[in-house]
Structure 1
Amino acid sequence: MWLRYNFRLYPTPGQQIALARAFGCARVVYNDGLRARRDAHAAGLPYRVKRRSCPWPRERSCRSRSR
């Protein structure tokens, strides 16, 4: 038996800002990692993780407030 649920979210303006910030941060981190992997592959080098120093990923997210 297959079950499926459909639902829609109606976030408040504050929640919209928090969601946009969280997804934007995830997109930047993913794209930076993908670019680093492609550059390393094109140069024939192994992929190594480098920590990037940015102030905005260290900001408190909506997830940390609920703990």
Structure 2
Amino acid sequence: MGKSRAKTRKFNQVLVLIGLAFVILAALPLDLTDLKRSLLALAGTIFIAIAYFLKPGPAGKIDPNE
């Protein structure tokens, strides 16, 4: 079970790095149209949100309501 949590954590780190790269590209003064710039920022935000929602849950915790 620990291996799966470690893989999920590493995968989340990669997703966040990709998202940050997109957001930084959108912020750089490149020759991009407004649409391309906003799509890059949106893609970066989506990658970071996916990483947030895929975070590993608590290990060994049992829900008393179940």
Give the TM-score normalised by structure 1. Answer: 0.48
Structure with the bigger RCO (C-alpha within 8 Å, sep 6+) is 2
Give the TM-score normalised by structure 2. Answer: 0.49
Q: Which has the larger radius of gyration?
A: 1
